[in-house]
Amino acid sequence: MPVIVVANPKGGVGKSTLATNLAGALARRGHAVMLGDVDRQQSARHWLSLRATQLPPIRGWDVDAGDVVRPPKGTTHVVLDTPAGLHGKRLDAVMKIADRLLVPLQPSLFDIQATHAFIAELRAHKRADRVAFGVVGMRVREGTISNEQLHLYLNALGLPVLGYLRDTQNYVQLAARGLTLWDVAPSRVERDLPQWQPLLEWVGA
């Protein structure tokens, strides 16, 4: 049972967007998915409360950041959303159960600087050799200087780059109704779905 953690110490980089849509993709494929939320804002939990019962089920998982434990039996995949400022004991607790860790990153100098320090911390962690790390570019706008800088940075980072998700209102509009890209007609999100394929292959969806 893979535990997939979505983490970045900076707020507003798209952690909850990545976590909820990943959980939705796994659920659509028939997996028994739990979505945990260590974030104090409880964005993922609120999103679950909006989700219609007829959609592929995603169970919530109440997680205490100071006492993260293995989820119940019967779960095939866990996606764990995490808070800004994830360091120290809270990071240790998450790393203890993580199999894969996704780092979302926006094309912003401030985000890149904060993420660079976080990735260095991850690489130095005592459990780093037991966790697979991957990076996802978020809210990317093609043809911009910031996007070019993000590509240059990630290409030099030495970690798997699992994709670049475009800047679109689809994620905002769907989240407001507890939906994911996989809960609506493919024609509505036809530009977005292919961007997820490398990431889904990486997590073993």
| Tally of domains within the chain | 1
Q: What is the distance between the terminal CA atoms of the chain, rounded to a whole angstrom?
A: 12
Average of per-residue pLDDT across 201-205 = 87
pLDDT tens, position by position, 111-120: 888 888 899 9
Q: Which residue has the tokens 């019962």?
A: 53
pLDDT at 150: 87
Task: State the pLDDT confidence band at 67, using cuts at 50, 70 and 90.
Answer: low
Q: In angstroms, rounded to a whole number, what is the distance separating the alpha carbons of residues 35 and 45?
A: 8
Q: What is the pTM of this model?
A: 0.91
Q: pLDDT, tens digit, for every residue of 25-64?
A: 999 999 999 998 776 667 778 899 999 999 999 988 766 5
Mean pLDDT, the chain, integer:
88
Q: Which of 70-74, 135-139, 146-150 has the lowest mean pLDDT?
A: 70-74
Q: What is the CATH number of the domain that holds 104?
A: 3.40.50.300
Q: Are 58 and 24 a contacting pair, CB within 8 Å?
A: yes
pLDDT for position 41: 64
Question: If DSSP codes are grouped into helix, strand and coil, which group holds residue 99?
Answer: coil
Range of the domain at 66: 3-203
The answer to whether 144 touches 55, Cβ cutoff 8 Å, is no
Rounded-to-integer distance, Cα 108 and Cα 130, Å: 30
Please tell me the predicted confidence (pLDDT) of residue 39: 60
Q: Please tell me the predicted confidence (pLDDT) of residue 144.
A: 84
Is pLDDT of 130 > 90? yes
Q: How many of the other CB atoms lie within 10 Å of CB of 100?
A: 17
Query: What is the model's pLDDT at position 62?
Result: 65
With a cut of 80, say whether residue 140 has pLDDT above it: yes
Inter-residue contact 4 to 99 (CB < 8 Å): yes
C-alpha span between 47 and 37 (Å, rounded): 11
| Contact (Cβ atoms closer than 8 angstroms) between residue 79 and residue 35 | yes
Mean pLDDT (whole number) for 141-169: 88
Cα–Cα distance measured from residue 40 to residue 43, given in angstroms and rounded to the nearest whole number: 8
